[in-house]
Amino acid sequence: MAFTQTLTILNLGSNQIGTSGAQYLAIGLKQNKTLSILDLSENGIANQGAVYLADSLTNNNTLTTLNLSENAIGDQGAQHLAHALTNNTTLAILNLERNEITGLGAQHLGNALASNTALTSLDLGNNEIGNRGAQHLGNAIINNTTLISLVLMLNEIGDEGAQSLAFALRNNRTLTTLNLCNNRIGDNGAQNLANALINNTTLISLDLRLNQIRDHGAECFANALRSNRTLVTLNLQNNEIREKGLAHLANALSDHT
């Protein structure tokens, strides 16, 4: 791979390359000048494999998409990838879904986002970042000017984590897609997010499926929709909204023309 002059996409998803395979690929990436998309999902590369790949990213200037989902890289792997992001200027899409990353790993990634000017999409779905991780990521995107899509589904961020992200949305001017599906977010978190939407002018899609939002949360979103003219998709599927909440949303829709 180090010397190929034509290959731009390499998909090795769902194989068994392991840590040693990741090491070989990392060596190739340091010298490769053509590869732009690399999929290594479900390969058991673990934290050390991520360390090897992160090291290669500090030298590679062509890779734009890296999928490392379901590889158990953990916080150590996230830390090294975050360090690479502080220097890398080409990677735009990074998928770290299902990687046993906790709030500590999210902190490292948040620190990287504060200075990185290339990444546009980050998927941390189905990890363990919790409210602490959401806080660190929220702090990072307050001033970040490049991230467009952030996926945090299945991370148990709760109302506290939602509050941190809502505060960030009040100031962020680039994020268009935020996925907070299945995060134990209730009415308090919904209220904070809704209040942020009143002033936010960039978010297009907000996914809040499978949370614990009730009628009061629905009312808060209804009030926000009367002012917000940017949001295109609001997904509240599988929450706990009843007739009262629906009435508020319906009234807001009649005004939202």
pLDDT, tens digit (0-9, with 9 covering 90-100), for 62-79: 999 999 999 999 999 999
pLDDT band of 141, cuts 50, 70, 90: very high
Percent above pLDDT 70 for the chain: 98
- Rounded Cα distance between 99 and 133, Å, is 14
Q: What is the pLDDT of residues 82-133, one digit of tens each?
A: 999 999 999 999 999 999 999 999 999 999 999 999 999 999 999 999 999 9
Residue 2 lies in a domain: no
User: How do strand 121-123 and strand 205-207 relate by DSSP bridges?
Assistant: unpaired
Residues 6+ apart with CB under 8 A from 254: none
Tell me whether residue 239 is in a domain: yes
pLDDT tens figures, 209-247: 999 999 999 999 999 999 999 999 999 999 999 999 999
- pLDDT at position 59 is 86
Question: Rounded to whole angstroms, how far apart are CA atoms 93 and 251?
Answer: 39
What does the chain come to in residues? 257
Q: How many domains, in total, are found in the chain? A: 1
At 204, the amino acid letter reads I
Residue span of the structural domain in which 223 resides: 9-255
Q: What angle do CA 190, 196, 202 make, to 5 degrees?
A: 120
CATH number of the domain at 226, please: 3.80.10.10
Token output for 212: 């614990």
Kindly state the DSSP code that residue 191 receives in the 8-state scheme. Answer: H
Which pLDDT band, with edges at 50, 70 and 90, does 3 fall under? low
Q: Let me know if residue 194 belongs to a domain.
A: yes
Cα(91)–Cα(120) distance, integer angstroms: 8
For the chain, the first-to-last Cα distance in angstroms comes to: 54
Residue 1 falls within a domain, yes or no? Answer: no
Q: Residue 17's pLDDT is what?
A: 98
**212 and 186 in contact (C-beta within 8 Å)?**
yes
Residue 169 within a domain: yes
| Angle (deg, nearest 10), helices 103-113 and 74-85 | 0
pLDDT digits (tens, 9 = 90+) for 184-195: 999 999 999 999
Note whether residue 170 is domain-resident: yes
Q: What global pTM score does this model have? A: 0.97
Task: Tell me the per-residue pLDDT of 26-43, one tens digit each, with 9 for 90 and over.
Answer: 999 999 999 999 999 999
Which pLDDT tens digit goes with each residue over 44-63? Answer: 999 999 999 999 999 899 99
Alpha helices in the chain (DSSP H): 18-31, 46-57, 74-85, 103-113, 130-141, 158-171, 187-199, 215-225, 243-255
CA gap 195, 167 in Å, rounded: 9
